[in-house]
Structure 1
Amino acid sequence: MRAIRLRELEREAPVCASFDDEEAVRRYECEVREHRAYSEPYLVTPLDDRIDGAYQVESTSGVPHLVDIVDGSGEHDGCACPDFLTSGLGTCKHLEAVRRAIAGNRARRALFERLPSSPAQPVLAVRGAGEPALIAVGPWQRRPSLRRLGLEPAPDGTVTLPRDFDLATLAPVVRVTHGASAWRSILRQRAVSEGRSQRLRRAVRKFSTDLLTRPLFPYQIEGVKHLLGRGRALLADDMGLGKTVQTIAACETLLTLGEARTVLIVCPASLKAQWASEILRYTGKDALVIGGPSSQRRHQLRSDAAYKVMNYEVTWRELDVLRELDADVLVLDEAQRAKNFRTKTAATLRQIPSRFLFVLTGTPVENRLDDLYSLMQLVDPRLLGPLWRFNHEFHEQGRTGKILAYKNLGALRERIAPAVLRRRKEEVLTQLPPITFQTRYTALSPRQVSLEEEYRQRAAKLARVAEHRPLTREETQRLLAYLLKARQACDAAELCDPQTDEPGSPKLDEFEGLIAEICEQGTAKILVFSEWVEMLKLAARRLVKLGVGYTMLHGGIPTDRRPALLDHFRADPNVRVLLSSDAGGTGLNLQVASYILHLDLPWNPARLDQRTARAHR
């Protein structure tokens, strides 16, 4: 049979009768998949010279999926795609596309209508409606060879295969559908994973911090045991509680036990150097930071380095190499980057294979419960089930499906508890060190690079003059001005060129994300320092964008107004951020703040210590 190209057809979109009725939602979701079989283009390629055979279906994603038509009943057909195997609906858009291709041609439709309601040959299929299971379809009882293999179907038709059973031994007696083969692989992976978890749970009882060059706090040891005991887990501690070191300890344990050889850490670009630094600090090992052009990245990924660190933005570009790498441990830091289940980054992360997965985020729920659902799909899709059922169980939905409120949150916390560990800072306050530091690195924009280089070269020219003679007072002032402008260029292009047609600052982008994460964690106050008032004003714009309350203190604020301004910051729970210059902040006592962010660093290290001392005394 030739390939069949299906074009988009306009059809009225389905409507759910009631989002409060699970059965109505189930029917609606099935109708949605049927609608997508008509509203999207497909290429359907028959793989057998028979109507009840296998079909390859390609949609706009370009990823081929395999569908099997089993008989004329429509009850045993299936697909090997994740939606069919996990939705519990018994259908998917690929299966519906094949049915559309058959129904749309008179000859194919006639062949299908002559199919019996049960196949003449025994078939091992997968039940997609309800809880997925392998099922026996057709005349299994008439095949003594199947009984000799111990493959006696249960009364409900389900078949349980021994763990090491090879499906190839069923041929040619039994037709094994592609969906059944895919589901069998999933079951075997789960069995292997559970066996590994049991071994690790026994081993973790003897966990020792001697693996690291520095000791862990008691709550951090519990975090390590959580990661190891689950194998695929979400660590959602507040920022500053040491998710990084807990993860490094878990990875070192796996490397020591021989359970892992390669650890791949995916994080924002600004944290790559931080991860490498922490790995060296706690293990004495050098981590390989992946960067450069694609050819260099691919060479690095194929190296034998135990720890490899890369940023999210390049994962989809190197997906084929990441699949080939087959890392033993995959660490996703700042995992809110993958929260939107339908983004390209999230889709890529779901395709990176790994035996262990550690997902790290301080804000598992940022704006919507769907954020949590997306993360749990990476960790363990079984915990929350298909999205349609998750929405039905934990959302109040309006007539059109719009989410109005959340419900059953206690049940949700209980559901995810086995895989998610979250500690708030106040819960472990007595165990925390006096202060912790973190450095984040951001790349400059092209305009910033140009400005910084321009001012640095001007300064270098005057410095070369100074090697031969003393600079005049005017030349010295120009040299200092050039150096200042070069520093400002690293903050934001607007500080050097307010009229630039290329505004923007990666540093402020990182600042915005950091503030959002801290504010989601609770009521912590934040001090933000910069040497320049204009930089503080640019930061203030980002706070307005986030809807975060702030106040600003700098040398231009009259002295008699400062006490009231500071009291406002201390007392008003809606004012989360104090933006301060060094000139304005001299002598402050602000222990109410839990976080200090330095947008830039002063020349004098003593002034940096003074900034920190204003909140930590």
Structure 2
Amino acid sequence: MLAVDLHAYQEEAVDRAVERGSLLIAYEMGLGKTVIALAAIEELLEKGEVETAVIVVPANLKYQWAKSIARLTDVPTRTVTVREDGLKQEITVPTEEYCVLIDGDAKKRAGLYAKVKTLRPEYVILGYENVVNDWNYVRRIKPECIVLDECTAIKTFRAQRTRKIKRLTAPYRFGMTGTPVENGKPEELFSIMQWVDDQVLGRFDLFDKSFIVRNRFGGVQQYKNLPVLHAKLAEVMVRKTRLDDDVRPYLPEVQESIIPVVLDPKTKKAYKAISADLLAELRALGPNTGNFDLFAHYHGGDTPNENSQQGKIMSRMQALDMLLNHPDLIVMSGQQYEESQEARSRGAEKKTWPGSKYAYEVWQSGLLDEVTTSPKLDAVAAAIEDILAVPGNKVIVFSVNPDMLDLIGDRLPAGSFVTYTGRMSSAAKAYAAQRFEADPDCRVFLSSHAGAFGTDLYMANYLINYDLAWSAGKQDQINARHNRASSQFRDIYILNAITQGTTEPRKLSMLAHKRRVGSAITDGRGADEKGRIENDVQTLTQCLDAA
């Protein structure tokens, strides 16, 4: 039984889930998707419709889900000590008769799957990686209910993870995400809906013709008939945003602004040189330039060979990003490439090698010899100092590059911050989040994009984006880390560090366009009177030409 009271706006989602059986729970971040899913499962358990529910989550959220089940339901609980990398954390989780969490090495996981078979607990918590790696165990669980947390994990059709998940089915299926159209692409939502309810959107070829206008190269020119798509999704989706009247009273007010960054002459000279290289490679791509999808190369599919045309474009774009963040990042990447080449010459083998050949060439060329400072780091460090001058303020700083977090940390007083990255163990990340919450002297949370999903940082009132994500969905996830119904503040702030006269303002425009597409589909807002959204963002070539 659920042990907490629901808000009125959450109750309607629970009713839809129980009634329909398959549902996309698309409430925005911070509005209580977890408690909605648990309330629906608990009702189904009481009715005898469900004996076991499998909850599939990103790896770093396994223990968070176990703690939520213990806190939000009336299951018997126990205290366990999680030890990893010399750190230990005591947490309250359900007893194994009611909830089995799959974790550990292959031998330990095999024992846990045996417990699932014997105990038939009400809850089984899996990571997406478990579904792929432990398929022969997972398929034998045969649950009556499956929850996919952060279900945009299956947005890519060809991914092995997506193919496995789509074979995992049950009478009750609930997908959860606050950003169902993560990158402004309806076709990604189609993949998710194939699992939730494949009847709603039908065949992909008909979907493509109905909602996407492509150019002669096959690239997306515009999206159309978006109100029709929104109406179709309404059959199988519950959606609430912080703009809704019944939600707004529970959330803090958000103010978003820019930390303006101006390049010094030496950094600007290096920027122009790398920009010229990038522009030349874009033009070499020929008439298909408009089809180059930078997001896809950063976040989807195989990484292109750096000697290929697309690989050359990507490496130069990454170098620009690194330069604007801090020139030392290019040097680090070049050094990693040099070390990788030496290891390969000795016969070492790896699936992927760190470092960039282009970064190595820039470093060796001497272009950065006189570029020793970072205007952006100076501006952000000054902003953090101003924020911390006010007692009680806490600030989150996000950067896509974990090495950048170390450079930011070098500018902060010892003991005043924690770091949270994908390089850390689950226990180390949990310890960092716990210390930021509990220690009043720990006032800065430095996070890579590993912290974009699932981290509840309600104790902070400022968030600084040192750089922006390419995905609008991921950026919205980041921006919502402190924008919670549980926030301790009436007003919270988002500050974006943007370097003027570079490609960074264009990224803001790209994210805004992607949000318009997503909003038109999920919220029914943003399309023109004909149901279309035109892409009015300046192309990368135009942006570089204008600089």
| TM-score normalised by L of structure 1 | 0.41
Whose RCO is larger (CA < 8 A, sep 6+)?
A: 2
